[in-house]
Structure 1
Amino acid sequence: MGTKLLLPCFMALLLCGLCLAGSSGKEFVTVFMQNYQKKWDTSLQIHISALHANTKVKVSVPRLNFFQEQTLGAGKGLTIPMPVGVDGSQKSFNTILIEATQEVLVASLNYKPYIADTSVVYLSVTEWGKEYYVFTPPTSAWKVCKEISITNHKERNMVDIYPQLPVWFLGQRYGPGRQMSVELEPYESMQLQSTNDMSGSRVVSRLPVAVSTGHTCTRRFSNCNHVYEQLMPVRSWGKSFVVVPLSFQSKFDSVYVQASQPTKVVMKVGGQDEERRMTAGQTAEFHIQSPNTALITTDQGIQVLYLFNGVQGTRHLLYDPFLMTVLPTDRFCSSYTLNGQANFDNKALFLVRTSDLPGLRFDGAPLPRDARWREVDTKCPSNSPYEVCASSCPTTCQSLSPPLGCKAQCGEGCSCNEGFIMSGDRCVPFSECGCVYSERYYRIDEVFYPNGKCQEECTCSQDGLVNCKNISCGPNEKCKVVDGVRKCQPVGLEVFVVAGDPHYTSFDGVHFDFQGTCTYTLAKGCGLDGTHLVPFSVQVENERWWPAGRRHVSVTQLVELEVYGYTLIMRENTLGILVTMSCPSNSHYEVCADTCNDACPGLSETVKCPATCTEGCDCDIGFLFDRQSCIKAEQCGCYDNGRTYKVECTPAENHHRITTDSL
């Protein structure tokens, strides 16, 4: 049995003039992340392609006194072996600097005898950003890590990381709500590894940085493989994507979508529409399988990544996983350079307008006439008819003027009718547009807190204006993030007790008795304006206590709770579903338990944590949850492929040698 290394390439061709999808530049800075186990020999390579004649290229690792220079002609390439990468969670000066006198394309290869991946370095330093959201592949093999790298340019910089699950860096543990601040020197990088999923973690820097994501060895349907990819800064995210599946995937591949703010995502696959509402930092997974192409549209910018899940192929061959950034449709181009890798299966997918097929050339020659093409459904939404020459820079609710640097050429697509404007994936009347505040778009009536400290509350009004007022959290509230939203959130709880015939104890501890056989309002939210309380109502119905012969004594026979649009009724002698709850040793009962935040490292691989807290048991201080009980940290085991292994237990793992023959 052998493992085939697959080099993917997705091409989208539109007649929009010569462009290079934003991946060309004169200066790139990158770093190689850890590939599987540290002890295995690694081959690291940088590949450079020149677009113009007489292009001088210089590749260096300044702190190692490593330098190579060469002059390239138009269309010529150069491969340079690199001396070092980064292992483990640490800061490092093993940063690679690529400089050229004219535009070049840069890719990298990280190879070990069993495991390898290649990736385009999409962003030159001029396209770096100050805000990123992390995605890491969730599936793992044994003794492997999710990982990210952050690379700094030529000035000292401060980087803040907001993890979604606990991570460890330089001996310190950082959990949700605890900010990790790291200072990076010029051309210094950092690598952060974790067995926990780091997806949704936010990275913010004082000056622009490059962020890459990866996995030392991820797997689902085949052997595990090292994957890595450069992430896009939030400011470069798009609203329209086309994702083409691989024809030889017999099961499914995964498309991951990430949001940086409240976002509506519509994914069209196989004639079916799937809609999701996402919050800041949330990651959604969609499955895709040939022959169904996926069309993704949103009302806010999103990040999209494609994870090939591997294939158990014919003749006992395996195709191992790879990870790829999916570029938005507004970065489609009419000219591309393809660089194949020796000893790889090199495959390219082309997405082309039907009317432009006669003009498609590959190395100057037309494609064979027997090439098979599959049609993609491009129906337009309501109030937006199809046009042969639609604007490439349409106005939107978020931007009433064309984006800076947008080219004026028209292109095939959908345009809004007169009197309508694009809002996400649909055309709406101008009156339904929301507000733009501090370069972010908010829907009508949406409430937000711009400074992140719950000191100012703003509302997008019907007239498109933002109204703000100074606020402060109440005595029983705390400014924190819940479900991706930072605002004043309630802390603690109070109890109203009804017992006996009947005896009452109010929220503020006052005791009193009251007889009667009517329906009464026990508790209700009143005067909630200016507070963060959710409207609710609790009604009770009393009856005479006939069995005891006490005609002047009443007891409660029904309780009705109305909250969040639901009505819950508890009746006398009606048990419904009765659940008893007892907590195991080293844990205690909580009305709002959140066990996943205090779990053994790696547990998130085998247990899907709820988005909010629920009634249950929380581990005592000093103990961690291992899916069955609360234990000491040093007793935490390992999790692999849905199975749990105790400390010192070694699971069996089959490795297969890589063959370099072609299919």
Structure 2
Amino acid sequence: MFNSNAKEKGKNQLYITSYLSDTNVLLTVNKSPFKKELLMQSGESVTVEIPSDTELIGTGKYSKTVMIRSSKFITIMSSNQKKNSVDTSLVYPVTKWGQEYYIFTPSATGYPKELAVFGSQDSTSVTVELKCEVTFEGKTYKPNEKLTAHVCTSEVLYLESNQDCTGSRVVSDKPVGVISGHACAWKNSKCQHTFEQLLPVEQWGTSFIVPPLEYQVLEDSVYIFASKPTLVTYEFGAKTQDINLSAGQWKEIPMGRSPPLVISSTQPVQVLYYCTGGKFSDGAVFDPFIMNIVPTVKFCESYTLEGLEDFSNYALIVAKSKDIKEVQFDDKRPSFKWQQVHGTEYSWTHYTYEKGRGHHTVKSPCAPIGVYSVGTVDQNSYGAPAACGLLPCTHKGQSHPPGKPFWDDSACTELCECNPSTGLVSCQKSQCKVGEECKLVDNVRTCVAIAALSKIKYHYTYITVFMFNSNAKEKGKNQLYITSYLSDTNVLVTMNKSPFKKELLMQSGQSVTVALPSDTELRGTGKYSKTVMIRSNKFITVMSSNQKKNSVDTSLVYPVTKWGQEYYIFTPSATGYPKELAVFGSQDSTSVTVELKCEVTFEGKTYKPNEKLTAHICTSEVLYLESNQDCTGSRVVSDKPVGVISGHACAWKNSKCQHTFEQLLPVEQWGTSFIVPPLEYQVLEDSVYIFASKPTLVTYQFGAKSEDINLSAGQWKELPMGRSPPLVISSSQPIQVLYYCTGGKFSDGSVFDPFIMNIVPTVKFCESYTLEGLEDFSNYALIVAKSKDIKEVQFDDKRPSFKWQQVHGTEYSWTHYTYEKGRGHHTVKSPCAPIGVYSIGTVDQNSYGAPAACGRE
């Protein structure tokens, strides 16, 4: 966080200690080339210099997080140092993070109070119930107001305030780390940076002993925080006092250099020591620091301390009186000056050890002790709990080394870790990260990076989702139809936060069907991680199919390079099932705003038509909205490119209902000239929808009949369309055109159901297409070509007898071609000129439709 002088580069360091031989450590800075790899041996301590630009200055969200990963247990101390301004803090592993914290910031004026909240999982919602005024993203939040933000993996929410933020509450929907402090705190000395990584409520305790600083002749402060109504008893020697704290309340207790402070409580509390600074007899000044006080039940047998360069370094030690003779410093038993803690079984000592930079140990082989590492130099000081070492753990008959998390099940859903302080194993629900899968490696279940399994470089990325399809009780048949166009095309299909993986080696012209897990289906408004990613090293095309009994539709899956930042939604208005839309991202922390035309309830809040719903989505995350109202015309805008799918869980008009959906094209992919071929089998009326993002003059023609309409920005128009003639559309500005088949009946009484289909601008026609005929369906190709080129059009490399018809008033002709029934992969080509092709199909109580996949980049 911000340390005093903004003009001075900080000296940011990590002190890392290993406890087992051959410990691999990797340090990285998010979105930075910085990387440090270490191979450490048992008992080794290494100092790592971190780039100075990791310092946070000014309220906002940042990616400046430092990640330390290791193959075996380590402990870490961080130091943030500038001239006459330094403090230290333990760095806790993410397994010790929590979802509720209470903030402490010294109240000194002149520099900002500060707090940082950082996550390790995608799309973590963080709410800060403020006790101070903060301005964030242009909005000023007053004391007692709530500030809510979303942080992604390795992202930090950093807040500064000129007011005291002490007592502010941080809550999150996933575990986070929290640091709070002051850029330059002062009281009895000059100012210096103070900070501490806080412990979450679940790590608090009910019994504490606070040893004093022997060199402090003034008063420091001890802060006690309660998360529930709590009776706290505190004692200085024989003097005892009770205080009642309500939920969220805190108490400051002045503390001199003797005697120690003893605290007990009926509910877990947080205890922080705030050294306020002071002077030595020689006139030298020591500055403030903040330090967690450790509950006695979390004392441990072995600690490491990091003495700082130029500092006089001290160890504050608390031990049971009966065990004090066994306490060792650097494997020796020096003459500690132990003093009894009144009314308890504990004693304490303030031990001065070697001056300057050094790595040291304090051990108590027979019983746990508490140790704090503090130090002073003129115009500086530091303080933090010492780092607890390790104990072995036995779990289900097997020994597990401390600090090395292990999976307790074959599916990697239960992550366990040996607590080096207690020797006990704790487990929690977890899963492999995005891009990893659960594998058995050397007889150990572990999460392995998918990229590490293959050296293939994937240049093309496609992401899709599967929305709710009609019957919630039925498992869907979700499939991808993938076509390759070049030899030796490697394709990797994965599902976010799932062990599912499919690797393909495809040859030129090959088509493969990939069946996906049915639990990819989205149900109920919310944010999900159920995205499917398709990556390839060479160009491919992808069609998705979402199928249940009598309910299927298809859509092209567009590569992420075709995504955009502005879309307009279409959802059929049929009642009975929800209208739906999905917005999914490929980058961290994408802000998405939906300007709604329907009522949506999201995260407990109901948004009315014409209100804006804003959310943040992370890599491979999807914002999925359902509504009982027609959402057509809703506008989606984002600060980074996103993919958008919209439709209806079960739409109907002239038939029974079925799932309809289409991946939409962003505004920048729209066009100004369209030809909409009719469905020859439709004896009723379908609809064509035209959307404008700017004031636009639209001219549309059915045969010789022409009409002009003016659309304002965000306006849309529905045009009824029968089975002849084709619809010709031109516009003064780019528009979106969608075909909505409303269903109908054949002469034999069989029914075909609705579907949604993008209409492709004529300027985006292409020379070669692939079509995927579906199993049991009668399959059709709608083809639009320039009249002079129709003789060259090929189907499966042949020239069948197409029944071409002229499109009135244009240079184009069209045909409705019936091809082989059932599942099959087919091609349509026009070697001399671009054509438009649509792939549709019908079977009793079903139908599908989508543009055919263009076989060129």
Q: Report deviation, 1:355.
A: 1.6
Aligned equivalents of 1:71 and 1:266: distance in 2? 47
After superposition, the Cα gap between the structure-2 partners of 1:658 and 1:378, relative to the gap in structure 1 and judged at 3 Å, is closer
Distance in 2 between residues matched to 1:225 and 1:362, nearest whole Å:
30
SS where residue 339 of structure 1 aligns? strand
Cα 1:330–1:657 shift into 2, 3 Å = closer
CA contact (8 A) 2:767 2:833 kept: no
2:721 corresponds to? 288
What SS does structure 1 have at the residue aligned with 2:773? Answer: coil
Are 2:549 and 1:113 equivalent residues in the alignment? Answer: yes
* CA separation of 1:117 and 1:171: change in aligned 2, threshold 3 A: same
Matches for 1:163-562 after TM superposition, within 5 Å: 163-368=596-801, 371-379=802-810
Residues 113 and 658 in structure 1, CA contact (< 8 A), matched pair in contact too: no
Is 1:137 paired with 2:572? yes
- Paired residue for 2:533, among 93, 97, 104? 97
Could you tell me which amino acid in structure 1 is paired with residue 565 of structure 2?
A: K
- Preserved contact between residue 61 and residue 97 of structure 1 (Cα < 8 Å): yes
Rounded Cα–Cα distance in structure 1 between residues aligned with 2:681 and 2:743? 10
What are the superposed Cα offsets for residues 128-158 of structure 1, whole Å, 9 maximum, x if unpaired?
1011111111233x2x011000011032211
Q: Which residue of 2 aligns with 1:541?
A: none
Shift of residue 37 of structure 1? 2.7
Q: What is the letter of the counterpart of residue 136 of structure 1? A: T
Inter-partner Cα distance in structure 1 for 2:730 and 2:589: 38
CA distance in 2, matches of 1:264, 1:309: 27
Asked if 1:38 is matched to 2:469, the reply is: no
What residue number does 1:416 align with? none
**Change over 3 Å in CA distance of 1:86–1:183 after alignment to 2:** same
CA deviation string 1:456-513 (max 9, x = no partner): xxxxxxxxxxxxxxxxxxxxxxxxxxxxxxxxxxxxxxxxxxxxxxxxxxxxxxxxxx
Aligned to 2:593: 160
Mapped to 2, the partners of 1:344 and 1:412 lie a distance apart of: 28
Q: Number of aligned residue pairs: give it.
A: 363
Amino acid at match of 1:108: S
Q: Distance in 2 between matches of 1:175 and 1:367?
A: 54
Which of 516, 519, 538 does residue 82 from structure 1 map onto? 516
Deviation at 1:243, TM superposition (A): 0.2
Alignment CA distance shift 1:61-1:410 (3 Å): closer
In 2, Cα distance between equivalents of 1:659 and 1:132: 28
Q: Cα RMSD over matched residues? A: 2.4
Cα separation, partners in 2 of 1:262 and 1:37, compared to 1, 3 Å? same
Summarize the alignment of residues 40-55 of structure 1 with structure 2, pairs less than 5 Å apart. 40-55=474-489
* Distance 1:297-1:69 versus aligned 2 partners, 3 A rule: same
Tell whether the 8 Å contact from 2:530 to 2:622 is kept in structure 1 after alignment: yes
Bigger Rg, structure 1 or 2: 2
Q: Distance in 1 between matches of 2:565 and 2:594?
A: 12
Q: CA deviation at 1:195?
A: 1.0
Q: Does the CA-based 8 Å contact 1:155-1:185 persist in structure 2?
A: yes
Secondary structure, counterpart of 1:314 in structure 2? coil
Tell me the equivalent position of 1:149: 582
Change (3 A) 1:658 1:201: closer
User: Deviation of residue 51 (structure 1)?
Assistant: 1.0
User: Partner of 1:32: helix, strand, or coil?
Assistant: coil
Alpha-carbon distance between aligned partners in 2 of 1:360 and 1:185, rounded to the nearest angstrom: 44
Displacement of 1:198 in angstroms is: 0.8
Partner of residue 612, structure 1: none
CA distance in 2, matches of 1:73, 1:124: 20
Measured at CA, do residues 358 and 221 of structure 1 come closer, stay the same or move farther in structure 2, by a change above 3 Å? same
Q: How has the CA–CA distance of structure 1 residues 159 and 362 changed in structure 2, closer, same or farther, with 3 Å as cutoff?
A: same
CA distance in 1: counterparts of 2:743 and 2:772, whole angstroms: 22
TM-fit CA distance, 1:303:
0.5
Per-residue deviation, residues 526-580 of structure 1 (Å, max 9, x unmatched): xxxxxxxxxxxxxxxxxxxxxxxxxxxxxxxxxxxxxxxxxxxxxxxxxxxxxxx
- Preserved CA contact (<8 Å) 1:55 1:72: yes
Conserved 8 A contact 1:265-1:277: yes
SS of equivalent to 1:44: strand
State the alpha-carbon separation in 2 of the partners of residues 118 and 411 from structure 1. Answer: 27
Q: In 1, Cα distance between the equivalents of 2:844 and 2:682?
A: 21
3-state secondary structure, aligned to 2:497: helix
Contact 1:222/1:311 (CA < 8 Å) preserved in 2? Answer: yes
Give the distance between the partners of 1:357 and 1:279, measured in 2 at CA. 38
Contact 2:785 2:834 in 1 (8 A): no
Quote how far apart the aligned CAs of 1:214 are. 0.8
1:482 is matched with: none
Q: Are the structure 2 counterparts of residues 180 and 377 from structure 1 closer, same or farther at C-alpha, using a change threshold of 3 Å?
A: same
The 8 Å contact of residues 656 and 845 in structure 2, kept in 1 or not, is answered as: no
Alpha carbons 2:703, 2:809 under 8 Å: kept = no
Distance (Å, rounded) in 1 between the aligned partners of 2:845 and 2:785: 34
The CA distance in 2 between the partners of 1:412 and 1:76, in whole Å, is: 22
3-state SS in 2 of match to 1:336: strand
Q: Quote the offset at 1:170 in angstroms.
A: 2.1
Q: Secondary structure at the match of 1:357?
A: helix
Amino acid paired to 1:80:
V
Residue in structure 1 matching 2:496, options 62, 74, 95 = 62
Letter in 1 for 2:597: Q
User: 2:594, 2:636 within 8 Å by CA — same for their partners in 1?
Assistant: yes
**Equivalent position SS for 2:790:** helix
Show the counterpart of 1:647: none
Q: Which residue is equivalent to 1:29?
A: 463
| Aligned-pair CA distance for 1:53 | 1.1
Deviation at 1:177, TM superposition (A): 4.2
Using the alignment, how far apart are the partners of 1:224 and 1:111 within structure 2? 13
- Are 2:489 and 2:505, in contact at CA under 8 Å, matched by a contact in 1? yes
Tell me if structure 2 keeps the 8 A contact 1:262–1:280.
yes
The answer on whether the counterparts of 1:310 and 1:319 sit within 8 Å (CA) in structure 2 is yes
Please say if residues 259 and 301 of structure 1, whose CA atoms lie closer than 8 Å, have aligned partners that are also in contact: yes
CA contact under 8 A between 1:34 and 1:86: conserved in structure 2?
yes
Shift of 1:41: 2.1
- Displacement after TM superposition at 1:39 (Å): 1.4
Secondary structure of the corresponding residue to residue 235 of structure 1: helix
CA drift of 1:48 comes to 0.5
Q: Given residue 99 of structure 1, which amino acid in structure 2 is its aligned partner?
A: R
